[in-house]
Structure 1
Amino acid sequence: MSMKISKLEIENTKRVKAVKIEPSPNGLTIVGGNNGQGKTSVLDAIAWALGGNKYKPSQAYREGSVTPPYLSITMNNGLIVERKGKNSDLKVIDPSGQKGGQQLLNSFVEELAIDLPKFMESTSKEKANILLQIIGVGDQLFELEREEQEVYNRRHAIGQIADQKKKFAMEMKYFPEAPKIPVSVS
């Protein structure tokens, strides 16, 4: 079973003053908006919360904020991750209630791990494939694309045959004075 974020709270991180997202358990959540409205800030906050201080954004504190960043992520398996305070103190509570730090967190999120630097340098197609695998629809999409290609190939072959027959018909000599012969089909 794949882990998904069931609740996300971010305050005073990069461009985000405060955001709370509770994604639908059976769907895809899209974070959208115009340039400069905080989409990347939300992604950076998730990477920082789950990946540790090595993913802490260079300007993590929201400009003009008097309170430090606060990040809280609750996963669908019950794992809770919080980073808060001036030093971005980490608190991790596993589904059984056991408390821990980055090492405990790493044991849960390794399967979700994405090499962010590599991802950011990937082509659009590579990024799409990585994301499709993460959300679990890559194989179904591949099968649909294969079926679509088969249908396209059949239609293309039929079109080529039709063009070929039309060309042969146009090359045939036409004799308007020839008598018409009735044809019976049995």
Structure 2
Amino acid sequence: MKIVQFNAENIKRLVAVEIRPDGNLVEITGRNGQGKTSILDAIWWALDSNKVVQSKPVRDGADSGYVRLDLGEYIVTKKFKVKGEDEFTTTLTVENRDGAKYSSPVELLKSFLGDLTFDPLAFSRMKARDQVTALRAMVPDFDFAAADDANDKDFKARTDVNRTVRDLTARIEAIQVPASAPTERVSAADLLTELQHAMEHNEGIEKERRRRTSIQGRIVQLREANETRREDIRKLEQRIADLNGGIAAAEQAIEELHDELDGVKDDVEPIDTASIRERITTAEEANRYVDRRVERERLEAEAKRQQEISDGLTKAIDDRKAAAAKAVREAKLPVAGLELTEDAVLLNGVPFNQASDAEQLRVSIAVAGAMNPRLRVIRVRDGSLLDDEAMATLRAYADENDMQIWIERVDSSGKVGVVIEDGMVAAAMREAAE
């Protein structure tokens, strides 16, 4: 749909205006203050809600005014009536070609409009992130909001995990374990038990030695005694009988002692307790290193696990970004070479804000048109800021895409477009004067 005929009376600076557009680029021209902007605002007010209407929509001195847009398939009429200072009422009707009126005209008109219909150049003035949001609406098969929420959660989770990995790494580096340190803890209790057994063993050996020395001493004593007795026998033959008895008894005792001596161990080597005592002394230090090694290995395992979590979150974020990029590539964006990143819009690989004014204009108009598939009407204010190249680009786009573009430009020649003077179309004023 396009505007087949525009009529307005007593709207802002307009007195009475009728325009039947010829061609897709409708230039509203004239000197400043003649009512050019009033025409574009009247189109906006007729199609959009009352929120966009200014506080004094009716021309000074008039009690009422109206805007009528013939869209071919529909006829839209919006009337304004003054009630008091800065107060007015409005009525909106939408009817088809047969005169049948629609019961919900506001909802019907909303279905015709896009966000940039009345100010497409606003796209070029948006922040890069807002441009991305606007274009994402043209990719219906991908939920960017859900992907952004998921990426935001994963990014925060990854930040926490990476912080944990850094903390674990610092703790791991702080634990120094010599390469020669044991890998298992040493049991001091086992060493003490071993020492006790060794001491008991050695004490037994010492006891046997003392016993052997005692026995050997007794043998020597008995032998000396016997020698004395033999000497006494030689000297005292008369005492032989008595002494022989003593000798017999002593010999018997000697035999018994020899038998006992044979049972005494003499070849058992003592255990060296010095090494055990030294091992007990070093056990505590060894165990400290074992504990450090165990703690380091635990921290390394935890750091590895956290890193794997971080890598998984990174992959999830990257996968969603890849899916978003794929959805954008497969979507039919309004301009060839238009791409979306997470934070910016690119045109042929270059940030949109670095494109030429003509390119930015072309893209902005194309985006507005794509957002407005049913009503092929776009309003462009401040057209005087556009040079000849930009105007040519605008005209070419309008023709190529069958888009009706209404644009206001300051022009004093009276020879360009629909010329507005004193709230009326200049041609109509000249005919009235004649």
For the aligned pair, the TM-score class normalised by the smaller chain equals: 0.5 to 0.7
Deviations 1:121-154 (A, max 9, x none): 839654554346647843988xxxxxxxxxxxxx
- TM-score by length of structure 2 reads 0.28
Determine if contact 2:65/2:79 at 8 Å carries over to the other structure.
yes
Mapped to 2, the partners of 1:73 and 1:29 lie a distance apart of: 15
Give identity over the alignment, percent: 33
Q: 1:52 aligns with which of 19, 29, 49?
A: 49
Aligned to 1:99: 102
Aligned to 2:75: 80
Pick the structure with more helix per residue.
2
Mapped to 1, the partners of 2:95 and 2:363 lie a distance apart of: 32
Mapped to 2, the partners of 1:104 and 1:17 lie a distance apart of: 29
RMSD over aligned CA atoms reads: 3.3
Letter of the 1:48 counterpart = W
Task: Name the stretch that deviates more: 128-137 or 26-35.
Answer: 128-137
- The alpha-carbon distance between structure 1 residues 73 and 139, as it changes in their structure 2 partners (threshold 3 A), is closer
Deviations 1:8-48 (A, max 9, x none): 11111111111010112x44221101100111111111100
The residue correspondences of 1:1-186 to structure 2 (distance < 5 A) are: 3-24=1-22, 26-65=23-62, 67-76=63-72, 78-86=73-81, 87-94=89-96, 97-100=100-103, 101-107=105-111, 109-111=112-114, 114=117, 116=119, 119=122, 122=125, 125=358, 126-127=360-361, 129-131=363-365, 134=369, 137-138=396-397
- TM-score by length of structure 1 reads 0.59
Structure scoring higher RCO (CA < 8 A, sep ≥ 6) equals 2
- 1:118 offset after TM fit, Å? 7.0
Task: Name the stretch that deviates more: 89-98 or 128-137.
Answer: 128-137
Letter of the 1:6 counterpart = V
Task: Return 5+ residue gaps in structure 2 as ranges.
Answer: 82-88, 127-356, 370-377, 379-394, 401-434
Mapped to 1, the partners of 2:362 and 2:65 lie a distance apart of: 30
- 1:72 offset after TM fit, Å? 0.4
Task: Name the stretch that deviates more: 11-20 or 79-88.
Answer: 79-88
- 1:6 offset after TM fit, Å? 0.3
Determine if contact 2:25/2:398 at 8 Å carries over to the other structure.
no
Aligned length: 135
